């Protein structure tokens, strides 16, 4: 029986002898590698925090002392040490463990965060609550790493934390020098210099040993130097960055020396106030293929071969098409530049960066800054393309609204992972963008249905010079191209039918709508299928098309509230077209993790489900019309 199998809760970790901890760490790493090799997930970040997490649970009393992780993808080891090792094989599987902290799973998981740079704000609030309730003998621990300190929200929190000397709060900076790829920016360089510094204490010791040998002047001179240690620290180590905020600082500590980390944490806990513990770790530590993986140290690999580290071949994806097309756009348009928020490879900008290294900007995990910086680039005569995951655009809404759109700047935002993404859980489903973007004046939004349309629409988006544009597409393999059979205004007609139903297919839902139309035909219901291509603003030709049909159905992989369906209904109302509109989309709730196909099936976004629901809607509509008062009036002689 392995040591890990005996760990049912953190108290079992405390009971272990120090000599048993290396074996526990090895077992944890073996389980991490074998599970992620099979299920996919975040491997590199968790391999790097094994000893750190063991030390956290030996020093603190979770859940009495809340331990919060930012970002949440580095919490796998925490799960293993809080009684979930036996379930770990279900990681990221339907009904199994989440890839992030989950309040439904364990009392040891306080927050369900997978958006970076949030934990210090949570920790600040929790610590203040403890003080106010008189529970200040507890300690809140916020673990921040994987580049999350490049986010401005973290520094807003630090500014507030530093103003309260009584907060029982320890901030663990897990410094591995990376987010997905090597962390970019001045803060990263600052911490990097700390990683390489011997520390001012060592220099003072050297000076003391040598000056002490000089009679009369040696000791006084040493005292003088020691008295100006603040200035010496400025020169020799940048830890003063934290101390200037008023925060006590411990470190840097070797994050893979469990004993050293444990000692540092105990020392920090003894201060009884806000303390920074700076821990140096290596992403992917303990698994050679992860350590030597230049791109992202196996940050979030697909299933892979443990012996070779080779990932299973990935199908050609939406991201691949965008990546290839951006390189072509860059060749044709010298004014096009690209911005990534610490996700160069995941968003498909690596090829652009290689081709045009002077035209790529990695701003770190700072989506707000990315959008406003893009506005500045546009004001300077360039056309920025900002590539982010759809769910992360939520964080930069104000900047897109006030800094980009208000100034009518030509900025193109490309949203990867739009719609249902599946395995990463509720916070990663990109189901909000088509709702929040509807309120932005002057913004154009495109939803390509396939790879060919993605190429077309990207070219059209960067040609817009009087305001911002957005392109959104889902995660995963490309569907087959669906060619148009005609045009209606600027919309593509994918299938012609009679006057029964007008199916408005939003982006990749075109394939589903075509399947539904075929099934409806078998029920004697004829459907016309159109793809708007640009879903904001909607083409006026849609009004004429709707007026010629008995029922309009909008299908979108976005939340049903405030999305394209609502925009279509509003367009028809404004045009006094009294045709009923039905919207089929994502229910307005947080979705549990599962495969995209499974989730789409569960929420009724398959061809068969749509055909059944539309058939029922047509039948109900017929009954309503038959009982309409106008039909009940008998003609007079």
Q: Quickly state the pLDDT bin for 73 (edges 50, 70, 90).
A: confident
pLDDT band, residue 289 (cuts 50/70/90): confident
Q: Tell me whether residue 148 is annotated as binding.
A: yes
Inter-residue contact 152 to 366 (CB < 8 Å) = yes
Q: DSSP character for 426?
A: G
Question: Residue 501's CB: how many other CB atoms inside 10 A?
Answer: 25
Q: What is the mean pLDDT of the chain?
A: 85
Which parts of 553-606 fold into alpha helices (H)? 564-574, 596-602
Residue 632, pLDDT > 80, answer no
Q: How confident is the model at residue 179 (pLDDT cuts 50, 70, 90)?
A: very low
Quick one: what percent of the chain has pLDDT higher than 90?
57
461: phi then psi, degrees, rounded to nearest 5: -65, -45
**Between 483 and 312, residue with greater pLDDT:** 483
What confidence score (pLDDT) does residue 228 get? 42
Name the pLDDT band for 330 (thresholds 50, 70, 90): very high
Domain at 3-292, CATH homologous superfamily:
Thiamin diphosphate (ThDP)-binding fold, Pyr/PP domains (3.40.50.970)
Q: Annotated binding residue at 627?
A: no
Query: Cβ distance 605 to 557 under 8 Å?
Result: yes
- The CATH number given to 487-627 is 3.40.50.920
SS3 track for 495-520: ECCCCCEEEEECHHHHHHHHHHHHHH
- Residue-wise DSSP of 249-275: EEEEEETT-HHHHHHHHHHHHHH-S-E
* Residues annotated catalytic, as ranges: 283, 367, 395
Give the C-alpha separation, 94 to 97, whole Å.
8
Q: What are the tokens at 189? A: 């360089």
Given this chain, do its domains 3-292 and 318-472 carry the same CATH topology?
Answer: yes
Tell me how far apart the alpha carbons of residues 608 and 621 are, in angstroms, rounded to a whole number: 20
Region label for 539, one of left (φ > 0), alpha (ψ between -120 and 50) or beta (otherwise):
beta
Q: Tell me what the mean pLDDT of segment 39-53 comes to.
A: 90
Report the percentage of the chain scoring pLDDT > 70: 86
Q: What is the reported pTM?
A: 0.82
Encode pLDDT of 441-493 as tens digits. 999 999 999 999 999 999 999 999 999 999 999 988 899 999 999 999 999 99
367: annotated binding-site residue? yes
3-state secondary structure 19-40: HHHHHHHHHHHHHHHHHHHHHC
Q: Would you place residue 627 in the very low, low, confident or very high pLDDT band (cuts 50, 70, 90)?
A: low
CA distance readout (Å), 488 to 83, 90, 521, 574, 625: 59, 48, 22, 20, 29
Tell me the C-alpha distance between 372 and 529, whole Å: 38
Residue 214 in this model has a pLDDT that exceeds 60: no
Q: How many CB atoms lie within 10 A of CB 606?
A: 16
* Each residue's pLDDT tens digit, 409-453: 999 999 999 988 877 777 788 889 999 999 999 999 999 999 999
* Among the four given CATH numbers 3.90.1330.10, 3.40.50.970, 3.40.50.720, 3.30.930.10, the one describing domain 318-472: 3.40.50.970
Q: Are 395 and 367 in contact (CB under 8 A)?
A: yes
Retrieve residue 125's tokens: 């609030």
Say which residues have a Cβ less than 8 Å from residue 249's Cβ, sequence separation at least 6: 239, 242, 243, 275, 276, 278
Residues 6+ apart with CB under 8 A from 460: 446
Average pLDDT over residues 497-519: 94
Residue 387's nearest CA partner among 319, 459, 488 is: 319
* 114 marked as part of a ligand binding site: yes
Beta 248-254 vs 275-280: how paired, if at all? parallel
- Per the structure block, which two tokens stand in for 201? 């204490």
**Overall average pLDDT of the 220-241 stretch:** 45
Does 332 carry a binding-site annotation?
Answer: no
Enter the tokens of residue 453: 């349309």
| Residue 369 assigned to a binding site | no
Instruction: Give the model's confidence band at 1: pLDDT under 50 very low, under 70 low, under 90 confident, else very high.
Output: low
Residue that has been written with the tokens 């934290």 in this structure: 242
pLDDT digits (tens, 9 = 90+) for 112-152: 866 788 889 999 999 999 998 888 789 999 998 867 777 78
pLDDT at 6: 93
Q: Does the annotation place 201 within a ligand binding site? A: no
| pLDDT, average across residues 626-637 | 48
Cβ neighbours of residue 95 closer than 8 Å, sequence gap 6 or more: 594
Q: Report the Cα–Cα distance between both ends of the chain, in Å, rounded.
A: 95
- pLDDT at 202 exceeding the cut of 70: no
Q: What is the pLDDT of residue 376?
A: 96
> Residue 531 is inside which H or E element, if any?
strand 527-531
Mean pLDDT of 153-163: 87
Interval 332-364: pLDDT, tens: 999 999 999 988 999 999 999 999 999 999 988
214 Cβ neighbours under 8 A, 6+ residues apart: 221
Domain spans in the chain, listed from the N-terminal domain onward: 3-292, 318-472, 487-627
pLDDT tens profile 2-32: 999 999 999 999 999 999 999 999 999 999 9
Q: Sign (positive/negative) of CA torsion 621, 622, 628, 630?
A: positive
C-alpha closest to that of 559 among 443, 437, 475, 458: 437
Q: Is 73 annotated as a binding residue?
A: yes
């Amino acid at each position: 029986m392995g040591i890990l199998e005996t760990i049912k809760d953190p108290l079992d970790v405390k009971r272990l002898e120090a000599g048993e901890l290396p074996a526990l760490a090895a077992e944890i790493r073996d389980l991490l590698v074998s599970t992620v090799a099979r299920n996919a997930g975040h491997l590199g970040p968790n391999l790097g925090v094994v000893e750190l997490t063991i030390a956290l649970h030996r020093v603190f009393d979770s859940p009495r002392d809340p331990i919060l992780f930012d970002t949440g993808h580095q919490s796998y080891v925490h799960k293993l040490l809080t009684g979930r090792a036996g379930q770990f094989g279900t990681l990221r599987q339907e009904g199994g463990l989440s890839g992030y902290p989950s309040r439904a799973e364990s009392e040891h998981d306080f927050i369900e965060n997978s958006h970076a740079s949030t934990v210090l704000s949570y920790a600040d609030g929790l610590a203040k609550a403890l003080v106010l309730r008189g529970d200040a003998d507890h300690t809140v621990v916020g673990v921040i790493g994987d580049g999350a300190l490049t986010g401005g929200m973290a520094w807003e929190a630090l500014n507030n934390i530093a103003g309260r000397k009584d907060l029982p709060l320890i901030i663990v900076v897990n410094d591995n020098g990376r987010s997905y790829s090597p962390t970019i920016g001045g803060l990263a360089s600052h911490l990097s210099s700390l990683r390489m510094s011997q520390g001012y204490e060592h220099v003072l010791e050297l000076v003391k040993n040598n000056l002490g040998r000089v009679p009369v002047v040696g000791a006084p001179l040493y005292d003088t130097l020691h008295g100006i240690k603040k200035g010496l620290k400025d020169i020799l180590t940048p830890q003063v960055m934290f101390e200037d905020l008023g925060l006590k600082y411990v470190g840097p500590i070797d994050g893979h020396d469990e004993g050293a980390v444990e000692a540092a944490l105990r020392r920090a806990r003894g201060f009884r106030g806000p303390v920074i513990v700076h821990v140096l770790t290596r992403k992917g530590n303990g698994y050679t293929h992860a350590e030597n993986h230049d791109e992202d140290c196996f940050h979030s690999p697909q299933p892979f071969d443990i012996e070779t580290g080779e990932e299973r071949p990935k199908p050609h994806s939406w991201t691949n098409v965008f990546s290839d097309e951006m390189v072509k756009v860059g060749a044709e348009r010298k004014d096009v530049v690209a911005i990534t928020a610490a996700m160069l490879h995941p968003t498909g900008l690596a090829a652009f960066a290689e081709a045009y290294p002077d035209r790529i900007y990695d701003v770190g995990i700072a989506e707000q800054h990315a959008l406003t910086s893009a506005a500045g680039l546009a004001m300077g005569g360039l056309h920025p393309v900002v590539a982010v995951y759809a769910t992360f655009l939520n964080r930069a809404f104000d900047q897109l609204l006030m800094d980009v759109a208000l100034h009518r700047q030509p900025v193109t935002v490309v949203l990867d992972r739009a719609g249902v993404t599946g395995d990463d859980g509720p916070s990663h489903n990109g189901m909000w963008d088509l709702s929040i973007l509807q309120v932005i004046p002057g913004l154009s939004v495109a939803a390509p249905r396939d790879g060919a349309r993605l190429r077309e629409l990207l070219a059209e988006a960067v040609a817009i010079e009087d305001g911002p544009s957005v392109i959104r597409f889902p995660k995963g393999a490309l569907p087959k191209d669906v060619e148009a059979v005609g045009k209606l205004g600027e919309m593509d007609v994918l299938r012609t039918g009679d006057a029964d139903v007008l199916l408005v297919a939003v982006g990749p839902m075109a394939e589903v709508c075509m399947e539904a139309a075929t099934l409806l035909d078998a029920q004697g219901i004829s459907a016309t299928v159109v793809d708007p291509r640009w879903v904001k603003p909607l083409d006026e030709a849609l009004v004429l098309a709707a007026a010629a049909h008995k029922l309009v159905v909008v299908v979108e992989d976005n939340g049903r509230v405030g999305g394209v369906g609502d925009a279509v209904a509003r367009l028809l109302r404004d045009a006094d077209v009294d045709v009923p509109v039905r919207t089929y989309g994502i229910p307005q709730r947080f979705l549990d993790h599962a495969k995209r196909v499974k989730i789409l099936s569960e929420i009724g976004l398959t061809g068969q489900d749509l055909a059944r629901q539309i058939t029922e809607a047509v039948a109900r509509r017929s009954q309503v019309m038959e009982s309409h008062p106008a039909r009940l009036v008998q003609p007079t002689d």
